[in-house]
Amino acid sequence: MSVRTRFAPSPTGYLHIGGVRTALYSWLHARRQGGRFVLRIEDTDLERSTPEATAAILEGMAWLGLDWDEGPFYQTQRMDRYREVLAQMLAAGTAYYCYCSREEVDAMREEQRTRGEKPRYDGRCRTRSTAREGVAPVIRFRSPDTGETVVEDLIHGRVSFQNSELDDLIIARSDGTPTYNFCVVVDDWDMGITHVIRGDDHLNNTPRQMQILQALGANLPVYAHVPMILGPDKQKLSKRHGAVSVLEYREQGFLPDALLNFLIRLGWSHGDEEIFSREQMIEFFQINTVNKAASAFNPEKLLWINAQHMQRLSPEGLAQHLRPYLDAQGITEASLAQGPDLSAVVALLQERAKTLVEMAEAARIFYLAPVTGEVKDVEKHLHGQGALLESLLQHLEALPVWTAAAIHSAIQELAVSHAEGKMGKIAQPLRVAVAGRAVSPPIDGTLALLGKAETLARIRHARSWLAAV
């Protein structure tokens, strides 16, 4: 039977990074087995589900390239089907109407507690044959009384539950709406899911879902419950640890493949390897080798992995990823067209930048001349350097070829004649004049790319406003 996996998020907030890891594992398992990956939006909680959250899920999945073969299916559009299955179960006697009021159930639990028993619904409506006037009943699943339900989990191993511990679950509320565990069961059944890969916060739901599937005569899927992600302090990962929404990582300038690489490594390994391409992830991933212990999120490692992925892309490929971040820096198509070739700029910056945001900031200087009032580090590096700028102009202007090597030699000569051989004493004022601040990629390469005319124009401009202050 071909493998079918699914990702089934509830659209009640942003797409959480922990959910993305579950989605990734589920997607990888399908891709590796040549199976199909289904996306299902579990939106039955009408109060907490929003269209914005659904949109954020779809956007996040698309950004990450976690493409789905079927769906998105929406549970709110499947209500007729759930009602149909409820009716079948009532007819078959695997479900029954329960007319107990809340007070009655509460009193039952109270008595059980005083007897020292674990509170549970005692099944008294299983045999109640008549409706109660004016009471809208719930529907309960008729669960087995004895035996055990065993989850052979691919990650957690064998987990067994005593059936006597599991009481008759409500599968439809008194207003007729089906409950969460029931919808999941019908969906997994209808969608032919062979492998349920989900967060281990759902492990306790699994025996109940298995019992209902059995009552329906459905094949049981294989289960794999993925542990959660912890913050660096080993507490459950939450907002106070930083970004948890996947789209925030896009905003911060991470490459989708780098984020996936980081997530796959949380609790899974392949020898000592750290960096995986998307193809390698598909080739190597095995769901049954995921750790059952929760893993901690390490932001430094994410940055490192991102830098590694940035370095491995071709400059042209990386330039494509960079475009939206340049937009955000106010670098328009027009200024890109006037400045140096973007791939060449990327090649110069590729070794150093850890994120696309950092790279876009560093790329600014190639497309936007420094604005006089915004130049930084003037006090420290540029004041009183009018004469130096003058000599720089002369030396650079006189260069017969405009290459990084020629520019480097010119700076070196000036360092010898003006600064006791200290390159920094020349390079820093030059950086501030040309780039508007004392940090830039290697100055010779920067000027080579910027071009002779633009470099000289910027130095002249700095010289004239320096003279005026």
- Token pair for residue 25? 């594992």
239 is in an annotated binding site: yes
Q: Least distance in Å: CB of 185 to ligand GLU? A: 9
Does 9 interact with ligand GLU (rule: CB under 6 A)?
Answer: yes
From the CB of 241, what's the least distance to ligand GLU, in Å? 20
Which of residues 9 and 429 has its CB atom nearest to ligand GLU in the complex? 9
Pair type for strands 229-230 and 295-296 = parallel
Only one of the segments 8-16, 120-128, 223-231, 338-346 lies at the binding site for ligand GLU (rule: CB under 6 A); that segment is 8-16
Total number of residues shown for the chain: 469
Distance from C-alpha of 149 to C-alpha of 159, rounded to nearest angstrom: 9
Strand segments, DSSP code E, in 173-323 are 195-199, 222-226, 229-230, 295-296
* Secondary structure element (H or E) that encloses residue 469, with its range: none
CB closer to ligand GLU out of 185 and 255:
185
In the complex, least distance from residue 43 CB atom to ligand GLU, rounded to whole angstroms: 9
Candidate list 5, 20, 29, 42; residue touching ligand GLU; CB under 6 A: 42
Extract the runs of DSSP E, i.e. beta strands, from 258-373. Answer: 295-296
Q: Which long-range contacts (CB under 8 A, 24 or more apart) does 416-419 make?
A: 418/388, 418/391
Which phi and psi angles does 295 have, rounded to 5°?
Answer: -115, 155
Q: Which of 239, 292, 380, 422 is catalytic?
A: 239
Contact region with ligand GLU (CB under 6 A), list: 194-202, 235-243, 292-300, 380-388: 194-202
Q: Does 10 bind ligand GLU (CB under 6 A)?
A: yes
User: Is 239 designated active site?
Assistant: yes
**Contact call for residues 141 and 89 (beta carbons, < 8 A):** yes
Q: Which of residues 149-188 bind ligand GLU (CB under 6 A)?
A: 184
- What is the closest distance, in whole angstroms, from the C-beta atom of residue 111 to ligand GLU in the complex? 34
Torsion angle defined by CA atoms of residues 458, 460, 466 and 469, in that order, rounded to the nearest 10 degrees = -100
Q: Which stretch binds ligand GLU (CB under 6 A): 94-102, 196-204, 332-340, 380-388?
A: 196-204
- Residue 97 and residue 65 in contact, taking contact as beta carbons nearer than 8 Å: no
Structure tokens at 314: 């071709």
- Report the nearest approach of ligand GLU to the CB of residue 41 (Å): 9
One residue of 198, 208, 250, 354 binding ligand GLU per CB under 6 A:
198
Residues making up the annotated binding site for ATP are 239
**Which residues contact ligand GLU by CB under 6 A?**
8-10, 42, 184, 198-199, 202
Residues making up the annotated binding site are 239
**Which are the catalytic amino acids?**
239
